[in-house]
Structure 1
Amino acid sequence: MLAKHGGVPIRTKPWVPTFISSEEFDDMEKSYVMRVLEKKRVFRFYGEGLQDSEAAKLEQLYRERTQTDHALAVNAGTSALVSALVGAGIGPGDEVIVPAYTYIATAAAVLIARAVPVIVEIDETLTMDPAAFEAAITPYTKAVIPVHMRGTPCQMDEIMAIARRRKLAVIEDVAQANGGSYKGRPLGGIGDAGCFSFQQYKVVTSGEGGMVVTNDAELQARASVYHDCAVTFWGVEPTARIPSFAGENYRMSEIQAALGLAQSEKIDSVVARLRKAKQMIVEGIADVEGIQLQRVPDPDGDVSYSLVFFLPDGQRALAFSELLSAEGIPNGTIHNNGFADRHIYVNWDYVLDKRGATPNDTPWNCASYKGNVQYDKNMCPRSLELLGRAISVSVHQSTTSEDCQDAIEAIRKVAAHMAQAENGTSLQNQ
């Protein structure tokens, strides 16, 4: 009997922790942070020894991990996206294509760069649909931001082929997929630039923080100038000769960098444990009738902290979710913030309303923009349909074999019940 109907739940213990990153804190993080405090140098560009700074060490780690020539540490993932866009020459009058399912910061970064976001459909991978991307290209399109959402790598072969054919810059948003890969290539090192986030909900954290990686020396130089309005005052030589221009202050502090460095040295271990746990659950439910597993473009490159499967429709997904929760396996749907509202385009209010900080000279109405992008809440019906019937279960690096078996048993139990219900009593009566 189902737990919701008075039966014994499969699991009574708490499910996995919320955070991946901060659960890894140990003496290494303490040691690295204390190293900064003992040096009494918390500002990266203070004094001599710039290449020995914690931020420089973190940049070196990401150059090596992503197999790129350049890396730039910044204070947030959003800052990384903005710096990369400006680095790629994106600005007023330009359009940048983004997926309908991503954190609002992806679209916000485009607006901060004074360009216009164009929102396109996702597919069964829950990442950007390459066909929708190509269909949305206009004479004003200058870049695309594929987002490796919830650790799932995008279909980068298709996206890169389209972008190269149409001469568009590709800025990978790797905020939610640090440590992932696509066909053997590290995420972030495939496009023209890759952008990472070290916010606490991410795979590694420095509290806040981010990173831009690229093989393009001019993009790196422009991003560096933009990330620090005074960068040329610190004795730092740009990677390419470019005219200086006004920028922001997106610098990463040494304390952030030290914490991020300790965390980033643990990525491979964390991701290996995540993959082992997710694979065990996937194998245990692969033959379950009535559910469809998310299509992952490269399962070997999946960061694997999110198990997603689809029900035939939204009503069944909601019913399944409630029954699964009662069995002791927390999960998320579009209805209960497991797929947080701010990650779905319909809730990007200031984007859909074309609202800037002031009503005058927004990216949509500035003199440089000749396009006519229109938004409405029904513009990506396929994305809403997919998200409406999707269920997500969080996987953690601490997930044990027993935890995996509980998830498998609970999913199979609920699926079997719903299959029986389909042949008899309606779902409303279960």
Structure 2
Amino acid sequence: MTTNHQSSPVRTKPWVPVFVSSEEFDDREREYVLRVIDKKRSFRFHGSQEESDAARLEKLYRDRLNVSHCLAVNAGTSALIAAMIGAGIGPGDEVIVPAYTYIATASAVLIARAVPVIVEVDDTLTMDPQALEAAITPHTKAIIPVHMKGIPCQMDEIMEVARRHRLLVIEDVAQANGGTYKGRALGSIGDAGCFSFQQYKLVTAGEGGMIATNHDIIYARASIYHDSAYGFWGLNQYPDVKLFPGENYRMSEINAALGLAQSERIDSLVSRLQRVKKRIAAGIADIPELQLQRIPDPDGDVSYSLNFFLPDAATAERFSKRLAEEGIPNGTIHNNGFADRHIYKNWTYIMEKQGASERDTPWNCASYTGNVEYSPDMCPNTLDWLSRAVSISLHQSLTEEDCDDAIKAIHKAMGRN
């Protein structure tokens, strides 16, 4: 990479807003939220479910995903926990998670009283199917593939491994709402799919989440777990499923109204993002030193992030600084663009096997007879990919001129005209 700087940067205008989702707020969100206020009903189980915005949101996702059941909850983490409890995961079980994901994925496993097993990601920055299979033990109960940064995982390979070993698959779709894999909606491929509606996500309700599944028992048990008083509302469709203690993960009607308004425009939002990403990716495809992230199904990419790799970590860091000087902010592991809380080696309480109780954790409980060990260098391939990666945030508001600025800036930062 040679230096080819001019005195003035390619771009002096701001790049993109922080949020994809809340930039879309308009009269629709206002109307739906005010409708809840006018009804004076903020709790979904007060009154008819036909008039509940949480119930409307669940129906929207059942229809979008073509699944039998959806359950609205108060957070993506809550969705993961309730889905695992619904699937019967608990003490004595191991659950395989990728080394690159938000810490909540692994934390949810611990809250379900199971043990997280951390495996490598590959050049997709999602779970490596070969590393997944190598990590399976007699204690393995489930796999949580995470569709990171809107990129669909290699679901054919993951599902083949899971079915051959009779393992459950719970998709973490927190960062990929609206994405697909070979024509199927992400979240509908595994035994359950879990979504987040937190503000950094493609769809926001401020906070919120959703569980999607075709399994009656998973849905029934997740419903029981998401509401400690679920048995009192007269909604249990599966009386043969025994009640047990639960949390309070219910979604409020106000969150549901906001999520409903946002979710009604997913397809338009993803379409705009895909146009932006395709234009920039095509414009930099002629740079041999730059390796674009492999995407298992480009048509299913949510496309709010452009990620690529440089030959080594030092080159990536130099390039990143030059690109920023040209007016295109970008992320690396050196500037928290690949946030520490998403990289396994920084998950301190997991690396050190710290639970809420020192005497009784998922690792030392009587039900668990395995021996999972963690270390900061246990996933060298993941650290190598991330150390060489550069990420540029994209936004649906970017114009063709904006995209062309990014293309020109990337070429210039690489020492090309």
* TM-score after normalising by structure 1: 0.95
State the Cα deviation string for residues 25-80 of structure 1 (Å, max 9, x = none).
00000000000000001000013x12320000000000011110000000000000
Alignment of 1:59 with 2:86, yes or no, is: no
Give 1:352's aligned residue.
351
Give 1:114's aligned residue.
113
- Native 8 Å contact 2:91 2:114 kept in 1: yes
Equivalences for residues 83-94 of structure 1 within 5 A: 83-94=82-93
Secondary structure, counterpart of 2:294 in structure 1: coil
Give 1:331's aligned residue.
330
1:339: Cα distance to partner?
A: 0.4
Give 2:223's aligned residue.
224
Q: Which runs of 4+ in 1 moved over 6 A?
A: none
- Native 8 Å contact 1:100 1:383 kept in 2: yes
Secondary structure, counterpart of 1:416 in structure 2: coil
Equivalences for residues 235-274 of structure 1 within 5 A: 235-239=234-238, 241-274=240-273
Give 1:19's aligned residue.
19
- Native 8 Å contact 1:3 1:327 kept in 2: no
* TM-score after normalising by structure 2: 0.98
State the Cα deviation string for residues 196-232 of structure 1 (Å, max 9, x = none).
0000000000000000000000000000000001011
The 1:260–1:239 alpha-carbon spacing in structure 2 relative to 1, beyond 3 Å, is: farther
Give 2:381's aligned residue.
382
- Native 8 Å contact 2:120 2:381 kept in 1: yes
1:412: Cα distance to partner?
A: 0.9
- Native 8 Å contact 2:198 2:204 kept in 1: yes
1:5: Cα distance to partner?
A: 5.8
- Native 8 Å contact 1:4 1:327 kept in 2: no
- Native 8 Å contact 2:86 2:222 kept in 1: yes
The 1:239–1:72 alpha-carbon spacing in structure 2 relative to 1, beyond 3 Å, is: farther
Partner AA of 2:8 in structure 1: V
Matches of 1:371 and 1:79, distance apart in 2: 26
Equivalences for residues 1-400 of structure 1 within 5 A: 7-47=7-47, 49-239=48-238, 241-400=240-399
Matches of 2:43 and 2:184, distance apart in 1: 33
Give 1:426's aligned residue.
none
Secondary structure, counterpart of 1:204 in structure 2: coil
State the Cα deviation string for residues 306-340 of structure 1 (Å, max 9, x = none).
00010000000000000000000000001101100
Matches of 1:77 and 1:247, distance apart in 2: 17
The 1:261–1:64 alpha-carbon spacing in structure 2 relative to 1, beyond 3 Å, is: same
1:7: Cα distance to partner?
A: 1.4
Structure 2: give runs of 5+ residues left out of the alignment: none
Mean Cα deviation higher: 148-157 or 50-59:
50-59
1:241: Cα distance to partner?
A: 2.6
Matches of 2:337 and 2:328, distance apart in 1: 13
The 1:402–1:6 alpha-carbon spacing in structure 2 relative to 1, beyond 3 Å, is: closer
Partner AA of 1:122 in structure 2: V
Matches of 2:223 and 2:350, distance apart in 1: 27
Partner AA of 1:321 in structure 2: S
Matches of 2:403 and 2:309, distance apart in 1: 19
**Alignment: residue pair count:** 416
1:240: Cα distance to partner?
A: 6.2
Secondary structure, counterpart of 2:415 in structure 1: helix
Secondary structure, counterpart of 1:256 in structure 2: helix
Matches of 2:203 and 2:235, distance apart in 1: 28
State the Cα deviation string for residues 268-291 of structure 1 (Å, max 9, x = none).
011000000000001100111211
* Identical aligned residues as a percent: 68
Secondary structure, counterpart of 1:212 in structure 2: strand
1:4: Cα distance to partner?
A: 9.7
Partner AA of 2:250 in structure 1: R
1:411: Cα distance to partner?
A: 0.5
Matches of 1:5 and 1:411, distance apart in 2: 12
1:372: Cα distance to partner?
A: 0.1
- Native 8 Å contact 1:127 1:146 kept in 2: yes
- Native 8 Å contact 1:99 1:119 kept in 2: yes
Matches of 1:3 and 1:204, distance apart in 2: 40
Matches of 1:241 and 1:81, distance apart in 2: 24
